[in-house]
C-alpha cells in the first residue's frame, strides 16, 4: 500500500504522460463531458452559453463571417461554435477526437440541414487539402499540448490557412497561473460519479511547475476492476512567450484581447486571446 500511495503522489516530469484521448473517448466519461458541454450554465467542458453567444458575435463581426467564409474549428466538441457559424452561411469544418461529441454535432447539423464537414480525428494527425479563411481553437485547447505538439499544430495551421487568413486561439495567462495552488485531495463515490457508474476512489494531485509555467491535475482512479491515471496538463503564457512561439512557426500576432469575446486585455487578465496571421 505504501508503494501505491508513493506512486499516486509522485510528480511526473513535464508532459511525461499524455492521456487526453482516454479522457474524451471513455464510454462513460465522454457522456459526462457531453452533458457538461450542453449545460448552458456550466463551464467545465465549454463556456456557458451567454459567453459563447458573446464570442460568436465578436467572431462574426471581427472576421466578417458570412456566406462563403471558410472556417475550421479545431476541438469543435458538439458544435457550439460550428453550428451557429454555419447558420450564418460559413463553410465550416469541425475536428474533434471525441466520438460522442462528433456524433452529437453531426446529428444537430442534420436536424438543421447544415452542410458542416465534421471530422473524427486527433487534430495533431488531421490533414486536408482545404484552405481556410479562419482557423479557431477555443477554450484554451492550445494549453493542453506540449511544446512539440503545439509546434506540430502550428505547422499544420501554416499550411491550412489561406493567404490573408487568420487564426484565433485563447490561452491561460501567467496571472491565472499565479493563482493556482498545489493540492492533494481524495474523494469516494458510491456510484454514478463523474469518473464511473460504479463505486470508485479518486486521488487528485495538483502540481505546479514554476519554471515552465505549467500546471497538472493528475487523477488516479481506483475501481474494483481497473485503475486509471489521467493527466490534464495546462500551459500558461504571457504575451511575449506566446508571440515568440507563434513567430517561430511563421505567424505574427496582430491583435490580442482578454478573451475570445473581444474584451480588452489588461494586466491581471486570466486569459489571452490572439489573432495571428502569416508573416510576410
The three cell numbers of residue 171 are 490561452
Q: What ranges do the domains of the chain cover?
A: 27-172+237-278
> Band of the pLDDT at 42, cuts 50, 70, 90?
low
- Whole-number mean pLDDT of the chain? 94
pLDDT for the residue 41:
74
Query: What pLDDT, in 10s, does the model give residues 100-116?
Result: 999 999 999 999 999 99
191-222: pLDDT as tens digits: 989 999 999 999 999 999 999 999 999 999 99
pLDDT exceeds cutoff 90 at 38: no
Identify the pLDDT of residue 196: 95
pLDDT score for 40 = 72
Work out the pLDDT band at 15, boundaries 50, 70, 90. Answer: very high
The pLDDT-based confidence of 44 (bands split at 50, 70, 90) is low
Averaged over 16-29, what is the pLDDT?
A: 87
State mean pLDDT over 159-188: 97
- pLDDT (0 to 100) of residue 169: 97
Third-level CATH fold of 27-172+237-278 = Rossmann fold (3.40.50)
pLDDT digits (tens, 9 = 90+) for 233-253: 999 999 999 999 999 999 999
Model confidence at 45: pLDDT above 60: no
Supply φ then ψ for residue 271, to 5 degrees. Answer: -135, 160
Amino acid at each position: 500500500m505504501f508503494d501505491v500511495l508513493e506512486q499516486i503522489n509522485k510528480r511526473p516530469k513535464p508532459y511525461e504522460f499524455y492521456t487526453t484521448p482516454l479522457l474524451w473517448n471513455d464510454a462513460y466519461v465522454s457522456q459526462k463531458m457531453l452533458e457538461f458541454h450542453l449545460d448552458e450554465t456550466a463551464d467545465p467542458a465549454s463556456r456557458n452559453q451567454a459567453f459563447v453567444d458573446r464570442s460568436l458575435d465578436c467572431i462574426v463581426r471581427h472576421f466578417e463571417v458570412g456566406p462563403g467564409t471558410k472556417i475550421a474549428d479545431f476541438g469543435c466538441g458538439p458544435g457550439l461554435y460550428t453550428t451557429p457559424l454555419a447558420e450564418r452561411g460559413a463553410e465550416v469544418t469541425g475536428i474533434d477526437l471525441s466520438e460522442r461529441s462528433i456524433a452529437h454535432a453531426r446529428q444537430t447539423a442534420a436536424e438543421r440541414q447544415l452542410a458542416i464537414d465534421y471530422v473524427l480525428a486527433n487534430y495533431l494527425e488531421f490533414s486536408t487539402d482545404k484552405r481556410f479563411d479562419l482557423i479557431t481553437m477555443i477554450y484554451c485547447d492550445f494549453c493542453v499540448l506540449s511544446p512539440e505538439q503545439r509546434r506540430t499544430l502550428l505547422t499544420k495551421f501554416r499550411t491550412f490557412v489561406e493567404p490573408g487568413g487568420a487564426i484565433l486561439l485563447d490561452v491561460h495567462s501567467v496571472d491565472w497561473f499565479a493563482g493556482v495552488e498545489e493540492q492533494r485531495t481524495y474523494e469516494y463515490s458510491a456510484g454514478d460519479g463523474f469518473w464511473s457508474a460504479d463505486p470508485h476512489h479518486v486521488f487528485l494531485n495538483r502540481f505546479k511547475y514554476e519554471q515552465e509555467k505549467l500546471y497538472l491535475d493528475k487523477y488516479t482512479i481506483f475501481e474494483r476492476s481497473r485503475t486509471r491515471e489521467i493527466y490534464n496538463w495546462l500551459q500558461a503564457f504571457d504575451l511575449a512567450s506566446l508571440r515568440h512561439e507563434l513567430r517561430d512557426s511563421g505567424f505574427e500576432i496582430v491583435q490580442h484581447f482578454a478573451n475570445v469575446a473581444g474584451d480588452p486585455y489588461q494586466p491581471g487578465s486570466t486569459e489571452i486571446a490572439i489573432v495571428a496571421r502569416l508573416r510576410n
